[in-house]
Amino acid sequence: MEKAPISVSAFLTKQIIRNILTKLTISDYDLVLIPGFVQWDSSDIEKEFSINIKKGPEFASDLPVILKNLADLSLSNVIPANRILETSGETKLGKLIDEIYTKAKKNLGLNTYYLNPKRSEIIIGQGLPPPIIAEIVNCTKKNDKDILKKVKHYINSGADIIDIGCIANKPDPTRIKEIIHLIRRNYDVLISIDSMDSSEVFTAVDNDIDLILSLDLGNYEEFLDIPKTIPIVILPTKINEGYFPKDPETRVANLLKLTRILHEVGFRKLIADPLLETPIAPGICNSLEAYFLYKKQISLKENEHLEIPTFFGISNVVELMDIDSVGINGLLASIAIELDMGILFTVEHSTKLMGGVAELRNSINLCYLSKHNKSPPINQGIQLFKAKGKMSQPFPIIDENNIISITELNSSYISDEKGYFKIYVNHYSREIYVLLFSTNHQLSKTFVGTNAEAISKEIISSKITENLYHINYIGRELTRAEICLKTGKPYIQDK
């Protein structure tokens, strides 16, 4: 490692690099890594010295990870190595899934199958990354505009199937038909229906629904004549009788029983849901035990013919915990991948879950790649940090005599005669809106963007205000807004 004669890596010039390389025996090296923070393209100096000169990481603390993964990285003359590492896992994952899907297509059966080959290439089953169902809660009561906004957001977030969430004891089959046709006209995506009402399910079937949630021991007889090619989630319950078994053994026995019955009458695309429950009350451990037990039972020789993909309804956990969703989604995704779940179900119903589908998608990708690499879900080239991270900045030596200590906030405020700003974050369009109002409350300008620095510089260059206190406030609030935009946290402007 060669030390440059400056302390700030971003200030490194090509000439400084030339001076360092000229003193070295270049033929002794295969690669030169320069700091990721340098502001220029290293292509021309690379040609000049006839050696690979690429950008390393932005932070020295990332060097060990970069060097460890050097063989798998395509380093760049322009992009810092740590940013390439962050996305390298996606490239590996894409190749892996292509290989896995090619094998799966040759081994289709009761536990590995296309959801609907006429509309989608999605296959669920053994060893495959589980697709995500994203539910629009109370969908039948929403207007068309809100439904389409939610569908677009879910698809952009990585959902594979859009679920029409119905309202218990308030069936609306006419609206079901309208919603299916609405989504089909606007998006090429698989659609499921979450209802146990026969009128809604039959309407969905008549309108080519792609997946049904759910049949159980109490209602399956009503649906024996529907097309046997529609995938169906089955439950170990009798909801119409208020029967909900608690012990894992009964749940598993009921699922195996219902699987036998439906197989005998010709259903070939079943998905077993042992039911994931809320932590603490009624308790998640008992339901996880049901999943473990189900996997053990279908691995027995006498039950091999009953093996079907499993359904993991993680919204029961994420929705009912006042804890940031990204970590919960990550942990549940790791459980799902370990247990080879067939399909995952989630929602973004409450404000705290905004961005949850994308978190789950990235978590699945990370854990699936980790399982293939036979290693923990760390340093895989995919990461989901939001509030925290792996890097730290070295703290400088401070001259105690030159410290200006600020212990109190100056709360005095002088209004800006040029007007005032209102800032909003639109999580669906993924944009920050900055509205400028005159002192008499008339909207005069609107700025829209995604980057706090870019928006603030545009406001400054527009010379709307030269009030330094106001400019400081705008910069602070725009930074908060950008953080909220990236993390999915609700943004409420500081008054």
CATH topology of domain 110-373: TIM Barrel (3.20.20)
Residue 393 has pLDDT above 80, yes or no: no
Task: State mean pLDDT over 158-173.
Answer: 96
Provide mean pLDDT across the span 428-456: 95
Q: Which residue has the higher pLDDT, 57 or 253?
A: 253
User: What is the pLDDT, as a whole number, of residue 271?
Assistant: 98
Would you list the domain boundaries of the chain? Answer: 9-86, 110-373, 410-487
Residues 331-385 pLDDT 10s: 999 999 999 999 999 999 999 999 999 999 999 999 999 999 999 998 888 888 8
Q: Sorting pLDDT into bands at 50, 70 and 90, what band is 39?
A: confident
Confidence of residue 6 (pLDDT cuts 50, 70, 90): confident
The single-letter code of the amino acid at 244 is: F
pLDDT digits (tens, 9 = 90+) for 207-216: 999 999 989 9
Assess whether pLDDT exceeds 90 at residue 61. no
Q: What is the mean pLDDT of residues 74-87?
A: 87
Sequence-separated (6 or more) residues with CB below 8 Å from residue 208: 180
122-160 tens-digit pLDDT: 999 999 999 999 999 999 999 999 999 999 999 999 999
Question: What's 352's DSSP letter?
Answer: G
Buried-state track 405-443, b at ≥16 Cβ within 10 A, e below 16: eeeeeeeeeeebebbebebebebeeeebbbbbeeeeeee
Q: Is the pLDDT of residue 188 over 90?
A: yes
Q: Examine the pLDDT at 415 and tell me if it is beyond 90.
A: no
Q: Which two tokens stand for residue 179?
A: 């919603």
